[in-house]
Amino acid sequence: MVLTVRQDSKPNNHPLWRDGHQSLQLPALKEPVDFDVVIIGGGFSGLWSAFHLLERDASLSIAIFEAEEIGFGASGRNGGWVSSDYPVDPFTLKKRHPNSDIEGFWDLMRSAIDEIGDFASTHAPTANFRKAGSLVFARNQAQLTRLQSSLFGKKRLLGKQETQSMLGVDGAIGSLFDPDCATVAPYPLLRALAQHLISRGVAIFEKSEAQLDEDSLRVNGHLVKCRKRIIATEAYKAPSRKQIPIYSLMVATSPLTSEQQSSVTRIPGLAFMEALHNVNYAQMTHDGRMAIGGRGARYPFGSRLRSRKESKESVHNQISSLLGKWFPHLGEWSVTHRWGGPVAVRWNWESYLFFDSKTQTGSIGGYVGDGVTISYLSAKALADCMLGGEKYMKMPFIENQSRKWPIEPLRFIGANALVSMVKLADHEERLTNRESLIYKGASLLIGK
């Protein structure tokens, strides 16, 4: 198997989360090496895998190889929602996996949020982990109907008044509040995690691209020996029909004045989004900026990563225009940061953990746009599997097989039809106040 991080060029974008935090500038691999465990990929999946392995067996020698630098991938660029959200709803998941423990899965997701919070409060104070819940608000009846049918766990439906007391959003008629969600500045968290691992003896190499085939693992051309290996490269894999990259883009504003901030929310750390089909997500940062993201960039033919997709002006404008619609009273604000990145999507929109006991190779990923919490849980489960445990065997992501995406140009047509259709579906719902028929049709095209 050949792994690759092929991009056409370096992304021309600037995540807010990098401000004030220099790169770690870790060494590249320059000679053959031998470790107990080798991890490929320096994002949350790779780093939490090392963390959990060490929690279980502190004597392991572990190396992490990152082709670019720590935080280059989605882990350094995301929207900072640490949530128990999952791309497939619990009712569908139960039908698909009758023998899995779906309630147990969500319990573990919720605990993972708190465990990440414990780590952040001890080791990553500048990540500003704040657990205040998430508010998904409805601005039309169709959205509200959808929220009413997605109640589960500790989520609560809020009426118009209560919604507007939490978030000063124009036109909100109700919302779904989930107390189990935190917000964080992701790059400082990941950076602190890397430093913590280094202090515990993990060797982390940057500018060190791994090439794995049946017989050997080479990094920067040097032979790397190991007893176990983990592949945590998420969207940055050689193009294939197993997964497609979908782009999520973000903008951040300059800090709002204190009056502007309190007109939006008085709840520090609240995560919020509109119940649109076109995915969106926002938080107000600890220094009073709006950081908001969403989808809308087109899928690249052949699943080839294209850096220009990460900074598409029209998509950035469309995302920032949401702020104007939600908070028309805000007055003046300006966009200071724009960025984006790919997420990996399998045909079934579910994540996976595979462990081949013969080759002692594990892989985790497939998180779509909800990877911050589940990468922690998947890494914990993988560490358990690799060290002979069976605690996580009933999790729906274990050995989760998915159909492959169709061949090109069908997947290009299907994925991009979805991009256009979700926008139309939102428009349809605004006009009709009924759940979109267009969206129902679109879901069939993309495996949902």
Ligand X SMILES: Cc1cc2nc3c(=O)[nH]c(=O)nc-3n(C[C@H](O)[C@H](O)[C@H](O)COP(=O)(O)OP(=O)(O)OC[C@H]3O[C@@H](n4cnc5c(N)ncnc54)[C@H](O)[C@@H]3O)c2cc1C
Residues that bind ligand X (CB under 6 A): 3-5, 40-46, 65-68, 72-75, 77-81, 209-210, 232-236, 248, 250, 281, 293, 340-341, 343, 365, 367, 369-373, 375
CA torsion 213→218→224→226, rounded to 10°? Answer: -20
- What is the closest distance, in whole angstroms, from the C-beta atom of residue 139 to ligand X in the complex? 21
Q: Which is nearer to ligand X, 111 or 145 (CB)?
A: 111
- What is the closest distance, in whole angstroms, from the C-beta atom of residue 271 to ligand X in the complex? 8
- What is the closest distance, in whole angstroms, from the C-beta atom of residue 76 to ligand X in the complex? 7
Q: Which is nearer to ligand X, 142 or 377 (CB)?
A: 377
How far lies 198's CA from each of 205, 298, 344, in Å?
11, 38, 28
Nearest to 45 by CA among 350, 341, 401, 374: 374
Q: Round to whole Å and give the CA distance between 179 and 406.
A: 38
What would the two tokens of residue 202 be? Answer: 């993990």
- What is the closest distance, in whole angstroms, from the C-beta atom of residue 223 to ligand X in the complex? 15
Q: Which is nearer to ligand X, 164 or 283 (CB)?
A: 283
Q: Round to whole Å and give the CA distance between 27 and 207.
A: 8
Task: Please tell me the total number of residues recorded for the chain in this structure.
Answer: 448
Nearest to 222 by CA among 209, 213, 231: 209
Q: Which is nearer to ligand X, 178 or 209 (CB)?
A: 209
- What is the closest distance, in whole angstroms, from the C-beta atom of residue 276 to ligand X in the complex? 16
Q: Which is nearer to ligand X, 46 or 296 (CB)?
A: 46
Nearest to 361 by CA among 217, 239, 206: 217
- What is the closest distance, in whole angstroms, from the C-beta atom of residue 262 to ligand X in the complex? 24
- What is the closest distance, in whole angstroms, from the C-beta atom of residue 341 to ligand X in the complex? 3
Q: Round to whole Å and give the CA distance between 312 and 243.
A: 22
Structural contact between residues 320 and 296, judged by C-beta atoms closer than 8 angstroms: no
- Which residue's beta carbon is nearest to the bound ligand X? 371
Q: Which is nearer to ligand X, 40 or 442 (CB)?
A: 40
* CB neighbour burial string for 112-129, b if at least 16 within 10 angstroms, e if fewer: bbebbbebbeeebeebbb
Structural contact between residues 254 and 330, judged by C-beta atoms closer than 8 angstroms: no
- What is the closest distance, in whole angstroms, from the C-beta atom of residue 125 to ligand X in the complex? 20
Structural contact between residues 186 and 372, judged by C-beta atoms closer than 8 angstroms: yes
Q: Which is nearer to ligand X, 135 or 144 (CB)?
A: 135
Residue 47 belongs to what H/E stretch? helix 44-56
Q: Which is nearer to ligand X, 372 or 395 (CB)?
A: 372
For CA atoms 150, 143, 368, 250, the dihedral sign is negative
